[in-house]
Structure 1
Amino acid sequence: MNSKLRKYLTVAALGLAGGAIYFLPYIKYVYYDAQVAAMGISNTQTGILLTMYTIGNMILYIPGGILADKISPKKALVVSLLATAGLCYIYAFTFDYKIALVIWLGLSFSTAFIFWSSLMKAVRIIGTEEEQGFMYGLYYACNGLAGALTQSLSLFAYNTAKDEIVTGFFRAVVTGGTVAVVAAVLLMFLMDSKAGAHTASEGEDSKFKMGDVGKLLKNPIVWIASITIFCAYGIFANTSFFTPYLTEVKGMSASSSGAITIIRSYVLLLLSPVGGLIADKVFKSTAKWLTCALVILAALFAGVLLLPSGMSPTAVSLYTLIPGAFAMMMYGVIFSIMSEAGIPRMMTGTAIGIASIIGYMPDSIYSTMFGSWLDKYGADGYTRIFGFLAASAIVGAILAMYIYIRNKKNQKSASAE
């Protein structure tokens, strides 16, 4: 097979893996009522399942990253996908709450422990240093489309049972697990077993050592890159607040707002590799592109607060697609900043484990904070939310610019030597 074709097919397979493996942990967001009915549990109990999973993830990211730097990404990804599929099948044939508690804890091991860091490491090693942005952008586009495909297939399976909710839910879960198996098989054939794995010929200097964990934790640039990811991801994840903003503040119908949400969540995914190309070909720097994108996003969020009160809901909804587009182009490349930050490839897994703990904290912080603002201030809460996101974008831009300037200085020093 042509090496270039194999590279892109591998990225697509990685996207399928990332889209399929998180089907079960977050299944409540699509099949909430069906899950409650099939298991006979309360709303609180569904929340406990996800809480156990997220706590497990936070604990396992760093040790998983360390392990990801010691073994082949191919082995880690295939084992994780098959383990997740196995948990899907066990869950489908039991639907017992006590067993589900064990399953959701097990999902932390199969989807977060070594899978996430190995996945990001695999994307990094597939491409050259000059095409990191595009590779990550292409991965996220494939990941989003694969997630939509997995949900569509599971929904089709669910609907075949018609009014039999438990049967339909069973079929949906089995379908999700089967997609994970398909992803594992594709990676078995497409990925190079030796890629990302240390060999004796590489020498001891290129081998990851446990002492490197301490070096990473003491390295300021790791924390700066992690906080940059925190700012960027927080903005990307919370463009979702445009949906209730359009209905509650601008008076748009729920169906129209939902259509805009679909465009923002799925159609704009096609812009993810475009962001990578901009970073690689135009700016020739992920950090420089992030700086530019974050400054633009700060202006766009501030602009929401300045929109005329008489502006039509349709015009406002079209405006909200602009920050959605920039957020998508930015989010697709955020982890490629690790390369520019000077993190050695042999430490990529551990560094991503650290960055993931910090970078994904907005999921547990922002939702609660923003929700409390809306409860307390009503429609005025959106002013605080968008103002906060604008300020967060400025902080992220400053940090990204620091990484860019630092990298340029290091390059000059290296060339002078």
Structure 2
Amino acid sequence: MESKARKYLTIIALGLAGGSIYFIPYVKYVFYDAQLAAMGINNTQSGLLLTMYTIGNMVLYIPGGYLADKVSTKKALIISLVATSVLTWVYAFSLNFVVSMIIWLGLSFSTAFVFWSALMKAVRIVGTEEEQGFMYGLYYACNGIAAALTSFISLYAYNTAGEDIKSGFVRGVNASGVVVLIAAICLVFLMKEDAGKVTTESDDDKISLPMVGKVLKSPVVWILSIVILCGYGLKSSVSYFNPYLTEVVGVSAVNSGIFSIINNYLLLLLAPVGGILADKVFKSTCKWLSVSFVILAVLFGGVLLIPSDISPMVASIYTLLPGAVTMMMYGVVFSSVSEAGISRTMTGTVIGISSIIGYLPDSIYSVIFGKWLDNKGAAGYTNIFIFLVASGIVGAVLAFWIYRHGKRAQHDA
């Protein structure tokens, strides 16, 4: 196979791997109601599964990155994918809540321990240094398409069971495990064996204790972390449109699942648009973040004003608007690090700390929102959307603060 063709096919395979492996940890994004019914759990327990996964991720994030530099990238990816498939099928066989808690912890090992760092490393290795932007852009496009494809395949498998929710859910889960295994097989034949022997990170990119001590004293790091938390919190909360459409609007589970797939995966293709707006229109990542946060606050607030007699299709289409803006906002949120006036030598440390704080919504929001829904039923969505409006306002104010801080730092320099 020609080197150029193999390069692009490898990126596609990596996109399939990254797009399919996270389906089960975040299965509620597509099968929220079906998962609750099949497992016999409530909203709070559903949130606890994601909390277990997130805690595991936070603990394994740094050691996994270190190990990814010490082992074969190809083997790390393939083993992680195969392990995820096995855990997926064990979950489908059991559907027991206690067993699932253990499985979700296991998924943090198979999808976040070495896998994430190895995946990002693999994308860089495939392309030359002169084409890194294009390679990562192509990867994320393939990732979004692969994630949507995995979800559609699982949704189709679910629908083959008719009215039997549990059987349909099991079929959907098993189907996703097959897709993950196919991704592993593709990497076996496409990825070069010696890829993992290449060192891709400089010393400046690695987190050290002295650097951690320095950045922990910087207020801008904590402000930046909260901005990322607000951004990721809004992005992850888009998944609640799935149960909202079924419980409040009256959309069927299948149609709600389709809109959920579009919101959570296909709209990821709009991420480069956010980058263009930040670079070419606003000339500032943080200015674009401030504007997009305000737009999102208005759009999430608009959900509270949707009349009860609105057409289910119109309501479903409306949910795509905050989903689209969220993807355009979240795609550039980490690039605000450079605009904050943080030196390049501390970038790796800042991103590491900000990631740990920024991804807390997976463990916190899901439990809080679950309790609201368990205690208040459909009325709990009012609390959720008010909370998201407030998050958008906080994100807008803090992103603009970072913009001003960066300007002052440039002036002082």
TM-score > 0.5, shorter chain as reference: yes
2:180 is equivalent to residue 176 of structure 1: yes
Q: Please name the residue that 1:400 is paired with.
A: 399
The one-letter amino acid of 1:294's match is F
Q: Please name the residue that 1:80 is paired with.
A: 76
Shift of residue 389 of structure 1?
0.3
The 5-angstrom pairing of residues 267-282 of structure 1 reads 267-282=266-281
2:377 is equivalent to residue 381 of structure 1: no
Mapped partners of 2:63, 2:403: distance in 1: 29
Deviations 1:93-136 (A, max 9, x none): 9879999998765543443234435656787998999x97x987
The one-letter amino acid of 1:409's match is R
Deviations 1:372-417 (A, max 9, x none): 2233333332222111101101111112112222223333444xxx
Q: 2:89, 2:177 within 8 Å by CA — same for their partners in 1?
A: no
The 5-angstrom pairing of residues 307-346 of structure 1 reads 307-343=306-342
Q: Please name the residue that 1:219 is paired with.
A: 218
The 5-angstrom pairing of residues 7-156 of structure 1 reads 14-23=14-23, 25=25, 53-65=53-65, 67=66, 71=69, 77-88=73-84, 107-117=107-117, 119=119, 139-150=139-150
Q: Secondary structure at the match of 2:249?
A: coil
TM-score normalized by structure 1?
Answer: 0.72
Structure 1: segments with no counterpart, 5+ residues: 36-40, 199-203
> Over the residues paired in the alignment, what is the CA RMSD in angstroms?
5.0
Greater shift, 246-255 or 100-109, is seen at: 100-109
Mapped partners of 1:360, 1:5: distance in 2: 36
Q: Please name the residue that 2:164 is paired with.
A: none
Deviations 1:36-63 (A, max 9, x none): xxxxx99799999876544322212244
Shift of residue 287 of structure 1?
1.8
Greater shift, 337-346 or 264-273, is seen at: 337-346
Residues 111 and 174 of structure 1: CA distance in aligned 2, closer, same or farther (over 3 Å): same
The one-letter amino acid of 2:55's match is I
Q: Secondary structure at the match of 2:314?
A: helix
Q: 2:82, 2:181 within 8 Å by CA — same for their partners in 1?
A: yes
The one-letter amino acid of 1:373's match is W
Mapped partners of 2:159, 2:220: distance in 1: 50
Deviations 1:184-221 (A, max 9, x none): 765548979656333xxxxx888764422322333333
Count, aligned residues: 400
Mapped partners of 1:250, 1:159: distance in 2: 21
Mapped partners of 2:282, 2:216: distance in 1: 29
Q: Secondary structure at the match of 2:61?
A: helix
Deviations 1:308-356 (A, max 9, x none): 4554333333322211110121122223333333555565554333223
Mapped partners of 1:236, 1:206: distance in 2: 26
Greater shift, 117-126 or 56-65, is seen at: 117-126
Shift of residue 295 of structure 1?
0.7
The one-letter amino acid of 1:143's match is N
Q: Secondary structure at the match of 1:249?
A: helix
Q: Which of residues 176, 198, 201 is equivalent to 1:197?
A: 201
The one-letter amino acid of 1:84's match is S
Shift of residue 6 of structure 1?
9.9
Mapped partners of 2:258, 2:30: distance in 1: 17
Mapped partners of 1:89, 1:227: distance in 2: 34
Mapped partners of 1:54, 1:293: distance in 2: 26
Shift of residue 169 of structure 1?
7.6
Q: Please name the residue that 1:239 is paired with.
A: 238
Deviations 1:359-384 (A, max 9, x none): 22112222222222233333332222
Residues 189 and 253 of structure 1: CA distance in aligned 2, closer, same or farther (over 3 Å): same
Mapped partners of 1:55, 1:232: distance in 2: 19
Residues 340 and 196 of structure 1: CA distance in aligned 2, closer, same or farther (over 3 Å): farther
Mapped partners of 1:373, 1:159: distance in 2: 29
Residues 360 and 252 of structure 1: CA distance in aligned 2, closer, same or farther (over 3 Å): same
